[in-house]
Chain A
Amino acid sequence: MAQQAGKSLRIKSLFDLPREELFISGHGLCAGCTAGTIMRMLTKVAGKDTIIVNATGCVEVATTRYPYSNWLVPWFHSAFENAGASASGIARTIEVLKRKGVIPKDKQAKVVVVAGDGGTVDIGLQSLSGMLERRDPVMYVLYDNEAYMNTGIQRSGATPFHAWTTTTPAGKVWRGEWRTKKDIAMIVAAHRIPYVATANPAYPQDMVNKFARGLEVLDEGPSFIHVLMACTTGWRFDPALGITISRLATETGVFPLYEIDHGNFRVTFPVAKRKPVSEYLKLQGRFAHLTPAEIEEIQKLVNERVAEINKLAGKEVIGPVVK
């Protein structure tokens, strides 16, 4: 059964999740968009007493095409690059209105940002950093589909090495993106906030419990959850494979699942035998142009990253590649 740790929902099984939907049907997200799964779970954990601040992007545009909205919680969008600042404004207003007796002191109103990689690691980085540095009580959930998907799959600072995007296409001179993915979770962790975590919808308990933890620490300061969001349209895969591919991202060590809770680093899903990265890449059209040598380059990068993670953990929590 659900464990009530502090005030937040914790789950041991899927059946600990409430049935009630606060992110309902009728939105325009692509068929098979894993953001839908993520938003449904986020709102279930956060509950009705939540104010969502949504940066411009896929989720914002697809869920609030006037006159329709599928959010059963208060929801705010103003621009692309200012989710952090907007959330600060809302969270601090709730504090002052409580202090002045305008709203009851025990009234719950959690402020949760929902933003894509574009609005977070690139154009929204300053606003995010300011909010974190000010220690405003906001949980920032990044749904990372690794490109500016809403505007048509252009590369972002979160686009991984060798990925095809419409602004880093694969041809004779360019072979997809040539820079590595910006490590946003570590950048956020450097702000020394109470809780930072990476999460993956293919691991429901892990993801849900991380949302719960992120909400729990709001009394102390902000939290940040970096969620992998596999994108059928932009990564070029069959709409049915969103969760399968997400799972492979963690199983291959491409997207390790960890948390930094008050400075304590912990890999929350150890992978004893890592799958070769080719298993992950071969299902995605955005990597279809790769030669075996290029796949090997990516494998090397993943190995390096895994070594870093193991060093942080102090032991081998993500194991070697086993074919």
Chain B
Amino acid sequence: MEAAQEVKSKRPIPLSTNYAVAHAAKDLDVDVVAAYPITPQTTVVEKLSEFVANGELDAEFIHVESEHSALSATLAASLTGARAFTATASQGLALMHEMLHVASGLRAPIVMSVAMRALSAPISIWNDQTDLFNARDTGWIIYFVHTAQEAYDTVIQAYRLAEDRGVMLPVMVGYDGYVMSHTTEPVVVEDRASVLKFAPKRPYPYRLDPDKPVTIGPIVPPEYYYELKYQQVKAMEGVPEKAEDVDREFQKAFGRGYGIMECYMCEGADALIVANASYAATLKSVLPDAWREGLKVGLLRLRLYRPFPAKHFVNYTSNVKSVLVIDRAISYGAPYQGPLANEIAGLKVREDLGFNLTSVVAGIGQRAMEPEDFLALARLAWEARTRKYPETIFYGVRE
């Protein structure tokens, strides 16, 4: 799928990714926002408060006293029939971890933005993806976005996907904290009527309502629990196709589309780098230099991460000799110490794919990666066509 197409008709406004996310929630006419401030998400909730204070968004803004309460209130609101939104990062995402499983288990169509930030300890306010990767097996649909525009667009797509009766799963939209959350880019924002036409509200089907009493959240014994979790498995299975449909419809409605996995400069490439979010954005500007050097290295940009778009991955990698995976989180002691690398290794074996896999961990705690560093990784990916690197490479660490 090609990169986002140019939109000629609408004038973009300068927005940080945080503000873009807030605008999306506003244009989606969310009913409830329950959020707790944490760097670098703070300006999302500040902007949303501003919208409510000004009357631009009619929503109940619940000033919760912790992130655990933020997701608890958002979840309860969603199951009462609200279109509910929240945002967090790092320690907050970790604090609400229990509720992540509850939200997906109770099948709440919530959307949450995550301004990815490293996890304590040591405490760091800076960007890496430890927080989100720590939450990957919680049953949430997960998107990574690489521009503020994509963040705006994806939050909108997320509600349409989440509220689909055959999905009914919560969605996380992850982007790099500080690097994206606090930097300004041109963003086209749509009008509320068009957004609501694209993503009309389809509330949770068993909403809490005295006219039709239901019991939500019972204790479930072994005779039944397995089947309820399997329902989640089956719902997830249907997501890649539905996510592509939603993206296609979005392209028709607004002129912008991304697919669920993007292959950039893949035509004729012998090596691919797998990256997401801001690193994918930087690689897009660096790879032309690599090609000029004779390195035919393309970018496999991970957009939909959970569920993992296995079919697309197989298609894109079937003819390459090297795949270098950049991880922004560490999976201590795992066979590859980058979580993405581990997953891709599994897929490689399952599908009997022929490329050499190289696992690189980089940018931990927002350790700076300059364009030269990405070029170095492109060279490494090229070299890895004929040389195997069995151990994870911790790029940039000082010995």
A–B direct touch, CB within 8 Å, in complex?
Answer: yes
Question: Which residue numbers of A lie inside 8 Å of B, CB to CB?
Answer: 48-51, 53, 60-61, 64-67, 69, 71-79, 81-82, 84-90, 92-97, 99-100, 102-103, 107-109, 126-127, 129-130, 133-134, 136
B111 at the interface (CB under 8 A from A): no
Q: Are B65's CB and A51's CB within 8 A? A: no
B80 at the interface (CB under 8 A from A): yes
Q: Are B210's CB and A74's CB within 8 A? A: yes
**When A61-B219, A69-B215, A102-B81 are in contact, do A88 and B98 touch as well, CB less than 8 Å?**
no
Q: Are B60's CB and A96's CB within 8 A? A: yes
Which partner residue on chain B sits nearest A82 by CB separation? B72
Among A51, A74, A109, find the residue whose CB has the most chain B CB atoms closer than 10 A: A74
Size of the B side of the interface (Cβ < 8 Å), in residues, is 43
B82 at the interface (CB under 8 A from A): yes
CA distance A79 to B100 in the complex (A): 11
Q: Mark B204-215, 1 if CB is under 8 A from A, else 0.
A: 000011101111
CA distance A134 to B65 in the complex (A): 10
Q: Are B221's CB and A65's CB within 8 A? A: yes
CA distance A102 to B80 in the complex (A): 12
Contact of A86 among B31, B76, B212, B221 (CB under 8 A): B76
| Cross-chain pairs A/B with CB under 8 angstroms, 11 sampled | A51-B208, A64-B215, A65-B219, A66-B221, A66-B224, A74-B208, A79-B102, A85-B76, A97-B80, A127-B72, A130-B65
Residues of B within 8 A of A75 (CB): 213-216
Which partner residue on chain B sits nearest A130 by CB separation? B65
Which partner residue on chain B sits nearest A62 by CB separation? B219
Residues of A within 8 A of B73 (CB): 85-86, 88-89, 92
B172 CB to nearest chain A CB (Å): 18
Q: Are A89's CB and B213's CB within 8 A? A: no
A241 CB to nearest chain B CB (Å): 28
Q: Are A82's CB and B99's CB within 8 A? A: yes
Q: Are B32's CB and A109's CB within 8 A? A: no
B319 CB to nearest chain A CB (Å): 48
B102 CB to nearest chain A CB (Å): 5
CA distance A84 to B34 in the complex (A): 13
Q: Are A64's CB and B218's CB within 8 A? A: yes
CA distance A87 to B76 in the complex (A): 7
Residues of A within 8 A of B74 (CB): 89
Contact of B99 among A77, A78, A134 (CB under 8 A): A78
Q: Among residues 53 to 109 in chain B, which have CB atoms less than 8 Å away from a CB atom of chain A?
A: 58-60, 62-66, 68-70, 72-77, 79-82, 84, 98-99, 102, 106
**When A85-B72, A90-B76 are in contact, do A73 and B62 touch as well, CB less than 8 Å?**
no
Q: Are B99's CB and A96's CB within 8 A? A: no
B57 CB to nearest chain A CB (Å): 11
B113 CB to nearest chain A CB (Å): 18
Q: Among residues 181 to 228 in chain B, which have CB atoms less than 8 Å away from a CB atom of chain A?
A: 208-210, 212-221, 224
Top 4 nearest A-B pairs by Cβ distance? A89-B76, A130-B65, A89-B73, A85-B69
